Amino acid sequence: MGRRGEVRRRHKIYMPGVIARCFFRHSKSCAGILLSGLLTASCASLGPSDASGLIGMPAPDFSMKSIDGEPVNLSDFKGNVVVVDFWATWCSSCQKSLPHLEKLNKDVALAGKGLRVVAVDCGEDEKTARHYLEKRTLSLRVVEDEDGSLQHEYQVHVLPMTVLIGRDGTVKDVFSASEESVNESEDLAIEARLDAAIEKTLAEPAK
């Protein structure tokens, strides 16, 4: 990100919850009914202030269970730096960004400094997410937001979207990558910005 609060746009429009499941399972009747309204509503929802408005605000709390059955409560991570990444298995940009998220998650040095990573699978069931992770040997802490309620709280309108939360529980930054990168340079640049923001946030004392 070039400056704080700037959210890079991507070209894939996200349709939460039941709408996403219906549309991406290629139901012609469902798609036909929803298409014109979704294009208008979704494009309107992609204004620059949507997700960047979270910056400086307390991160919406959540209490969920991971796909491994472990409780995941954001409040339990207070005093740590938390990366919350919203993704889905069908999202090609997510498929490109998840390996970097896995790298952050497995970095022992970063964990020792207080980094925690939570991946929020959007609009899918546990079986779908588990199969995807196992096939790619990913060990991320994943929670399911099948009904889209957490996405609503975090103003998620595109995937993937990564939210960086500081030790004080406030949102420090929001990141998003391009769906149609000509090459890997843009993706790598965004990963570098995320890494730099994480290091900066880890260096800040808890308030």
DSSP per-residue string spanning 61-75: P-EEEBTTS-EEEGG
Q: What is the pLDDT of residue 187?
A: 80
Q: How far apart are CA 56 and CA 66, in angstroms?
A: 27
Encoded amino acid at 49, one letter: S
Report the Cα 150 to chain-centroid distance in Å.
11
User: Looking at the domain that runs over 17-203, which CATH code has it been given?
Assistant: 3.40.30.10
Where are any strands of DSSP class E within the chain?
63-65, 71-73, 81-87, 115-122, 142-145, 161-165, 171-176
Domain layout of the chain by residue ranges: 17-203
Report the Cα 96 to chain-centroid distance in Å.
13
The low-confidence residues of the chain, meaning pLDDT below 50, are 1-49, 179-182
Q: What is the pLDDT of residue 157?
A: 87
Q: What is the pLDDT of residue 4?
A: 42
